[in-house]
Amino acid sequence: MKLTHVALLSAIACVSSLFAQGLDCSLQEYKPVAGIKAESQHGALALTWQGEHGDQLRAVFSSQDGQPLVQKLAVRRQNGQWILLGHNLKPEYQVTTGRRRLSEQQMAPLRNLGIQLTPEVIAREQWNAFWDAPLNIPGNPGTSIDLPRRPEEIRRDWATFHAGACSVKTDGSRVEITIPGVELGIFSGELRYTVYRGSNLLRQEVIAKTEQPNVAFKYVAGLNGFEIGPKTRIAWRDVARNWQEYEFGGAVNRDPVPLVARNRLGLVEGTGGSLGFLTPPHKFFFAREIETNLGFVYYRKDNEHAFAVGIRQADHEQPYRPYGVSDAEWNRRADEARHDINNFALYNAPPGTMQHMPVYFYLSPDNGETTQRNIIAYTHDDHYKEMPGYKVLVSHFHMHFNEQLTDAGTIDQQPSWYSVFRGLGINAVILADFHSDSHPNDPGPIRFKEQKVYFEGCERFSDKDFLLLPGEEPDANLGGHYMFVFPHPLYWSHVQEKGQTFRQSDPAYGRVYHSGSAKDELALLNDEDGYMWQTHPRAKGSAGYPDAVRNSDHFNSERFVGGSYQSLPVDQSEKRLCEGRCMALLDDMNNWAGAKYMIAEGDTYMKYPDDETYPELLVNYVKLDRVPRFTENWSPLLKALRGGNFFVTSGEVLIPSWSINGAGSKRTYTANVEWTFPLEFAELVWGDGKTTGRQIISATKYAPFGSDCFKIPFDVSGKKWVRFAVWDSAGNGAFTQPVHLH
């Protein structure tokens, strides 16, 4: 694969241009930018750009019979020889589409609120689907509207191309090449390649829309036509972080071969250099309740001379490994969401929205292991970077910890999910037992014994810089689903039987509570300095909430922190993670009332070290010098949450400090930001109590792996609150919590 003479490289370019019919590219929107050069050559469009570590990269684009071609991918070290990584490659895309349906879990709370399920309500609420599996035929009766599903609802279509023209555009320190004429089943649109100064990444994406209603979809994206040479191989790290390889000695493949690869990354290696192929870190992944690695990258041996590589999503979950001590318990736990095929929602595609379907390639002059290290630097090796003055908090995990320990017969049974959280760099975890496990509605005798095991287990596996908080998602009296957490272990029940009072002294457990109403639950929070927030607001079992309780005592109390934030649903036309549901609710809540916040949560079940947890998780960086020990009061952590002293992030964008400076009506929002992927934009968002406004600041001028101080002047007049956010080119981001100005 390595070219030893410049003449050989020129010869390949010449031969390629002979059979390629050319690409007529407009350079009207192209402006020369330092470090990137675009030029027309022999009916092709060539991009040369400066990458990382002094590398120089080159990509040449053309077409043949309407088929776009990546005529050449090459890389060289500074002043070194060019290494050809691939030539005459064809982009390949497949879209699988099904019908989006509203789930029964969403309909139930809406009915309870007296909301009529009109066609308009169904059309709006279906896009917040979680319990939907459009590829599951016929579907589980009673789980969604208008079942059973029918085979003819599902389409699988490969892209066809009608390329002949293209446009080249400079945007900050990046250049985009857009090629119209893509047909992809019920979608139509364009193909785009983007290169970034200072990065070895090449982004390939189809951007397309459909006018069909109720569409859910997934996609395959890659390149085919790589040549199989004597030393060509695919390399990847498996889930145990061992290196694996495939050298194309097997039979020809009919379908893409999923690689259960760590970091969602595969590598093409030859006699020189290597090419990484990878997914976007988070935006590629729709919400699930487990993180089983389903093989998100693939190769496909097309014949004895050529192969393809790319990224893909599975059709459904794979059977998982629930724990249990009897067949009945095994079946009960297995039937839940750990591998429930009725929960695999895919992406939303509302009519007319431009859906982005990206895949990343990374051009490198190095061997596979060095290239892998360079690529995983973009996600800090799937680790939440340690920052002085902050601790990383995650919340809402149904681990059935009490049952695990009881099954094991010892408090000293370290759970499998413990090492997952520790390995991610997480310092504090709010668990949520007593949801579908144990005896949540027992009035005390059984529940308190189980709570004791829960508390002792959390204490046993908390450490100097790691705290397990025994939270709960009671979903009892306040409406929708919600999280409760207290600054200390607390014995309480959801029900109040005859003879029981709200507060009681128990000879075994001391002070205990029996709540029987919404008033009791709010009194419990006030008595014990606890906090609550709406889990998965406006979705799942919280459809219609917290909107329905915005005027209630508990919503307007200091005890109600806000809502939970997770990437649910995924709409590839949105620029932000959970843009339409989460970010809109954050702004609405602060227009309705006093300070309310969004807390990043998982809302997932069992975890194992071989899971691919990082892409499914968003976290909170809480301003805190140290994590409280389990035997101490946890109030410093909880009060930092309630005070909005934290930012939410996917991990690639960090906001080490932020403040509002100035006096009178003229203020400046100042935020120090650091990032890995090239940035897209920053924004200052505000509300006046009724409406929301924003100022967008383009950040495409920034190279990857940078930092800067953003200073955004604003006028306080007419503004009730303000917040700040930054989003990168891969859809990752971070945001601060709203600050109320009066």
- The pLDDT tens digits of the residues spanning 147-198 come to 999 999 999 999 999 998 999 999 999 999 999 999 999 999 999 999 999 9
Q: What is the domain class of 390-651 according to CATH?
A: alpha beta
pLDDT of residue 13: 42
% residues pLDDT > 90 (the chain): 91
Long-range contacts of 326-329 (CB under 8 A, 24+ apart): 329/407
Q: What is the mean pLDDT of residues 443-472?
A: 97
Weakest-pLDDT range from 38-42, 526-530, 654-658: 38-42
Q: What is the mean pLDDT of residues 5-34?
A: 63
Distance in angstroms (rounded) separating the CA atoms of residues 443 and 497: 7
pLDDT of residue 1: 33
Which residue spans of the chain are classified as CATH 3.20.20.140?
390-651
Residue 646 predicted with pLDDT over 80: yes
Cβ–Cβ under 8 Å, residues 523 and 502: yes
The fold adopted by the segment(s) 652-742 is: Immunoglobulin-like (2.60.40)
Q: Which residues on adjacent β-strands are paired with residue 276?
A: 267, 362
> What does the chain come to in residues?
742
Is residue 317 very low, low, confident or very high in pLDDT (cuts 50, 70, 90)? confident
Neighbours of 677 (CB within 10 A): 23
Burial environment of residue 252 by CB neighbours within 10 A (0 to 12, 13 to 18, 19 or more): exposed
Element (H, E) at 17: helix 6-19
Of residues 4 and 231, which shows the higher confidence score?
231
What is the tens place of the pLDDT at every residue in 504-521?
999 999 999 999 999 999
Neighbours of 461 (CB within 10 A): 22
Residue 541 predicted with pLDDT over 70: yes
Weakest-pLDDT range from 330-334, 666-670, 672-676: 330-334
Residue 17 predicted with pLDDT over 90: no
pLDDT of residue 330: 64
Output the furthest CA–CA distance in the chain (Å, rounded).
93
Q: What's the mean per-residue pLDDT of the chain?
A: 94
Cβ–Cβ under 8 Å, residues 82 and 3: yes
> Which residues, at least 6 apart from 639, have a Cβ–Cβ distance to it below 8 Å?
none
Residue 318 predicted with pLDDT over 80: no
Whether domain 83-95+157-379 has CATH 2.40.50: no
Burial environment of residue 733 by CB neighbours within 10 A (0 to 12, 13 to 18, 19 or more): buried
- Which residue, among 539, 533, 531, has the nearest Cα to 482 in the 3D structure? 533
Distance in angstroms (rounded) separating the CA atoms of residues 541 and 108: 8
Is residue 334 very low, low, confident or very high in pLDDT (cuts 50, 70, 90)? low
SS3 710: strand
Is residue 2 very low, low, confident or very high in pLDDT (cuts 50, 70, 90)? very low
User: ∠287-353-171 over CA atoms, to 5°?
Assistant: 95
- Which residue, among 44, 97, 93, 275, has the nearest Cα to 191 in the 3D structure? 93
The pair of structure tokens assigned to 352 is 């007319």
pLDDT of residue 727: 98
Residue 20 predicted with pLDDT over 70: no
What is the tens place of the pLDDT at every residue in 424-453?
999 999 999 999 899 999 999 999 999 999
Q: Which residues on adjacent β-strands are paired with residue 224?
A: 90, 308
pLDDT of residue 339: 56
Which residue spans of the chain are classified as CATH 2.60.40.2060?
652-742
> Which residues, at least 6 apart from 18, have a Cβ–Cβ distance to it below 8 Å?
none
Q: What is the mean pLDDT of residues 648-655?
A: 98
pLDDT of residue 41: 84
pLDDT of residue 327: 67
Neighbouring C-alpha atoms within 13 Å toward the C-beta of 157: 16
What is the tens place of the pLDDT at every residue in 345-390?
999 999 999 999 999 999 999 999 999 999 999 999 999 999 999 9
- Which residue, among 606, 615, 616, 612, has the nearest Cα to 320 in the 3D structure? 606
The residue type found at 404 is Q
pLDDT of residue 10: 43
Phi (first) and psi of residue 127, to 5 degrees:
-75, -10
Distance in angstroms (rounded) separating the CA atoms of residues 273 and 82: 10
Which residue spans of the chain are classified as CATH 2.70.98?
83-95+157-379
> Which residues, at least 6 apart from 317, have a Cβ–Cβ distance to it below 8 Å?
288, 290, 292, 294, 339, 340, 341, 343, 344
SS3 264: helix
Please state whether beta strands 428-433 and 467-472 pair in parallel, antiparallel, or not at all (unpaired). Answer: parallel
Residue 107 CA to its chain's centroid (Å): 26
Residue 536 predicted with pLDDT over 80: yes
Is residue 343 very low, low, confident or very high in pLDDT (cuts 50, 70, 90)? confident
Residue 701 predicted with pLDDT over 80: yes
Of residues 418 and 164, which shows the higher confidence score?
418
What is the tens place of the pLDDT at every residue in 552-588?
999 999 999 999 999 999 999 999 999 999 999 999 9
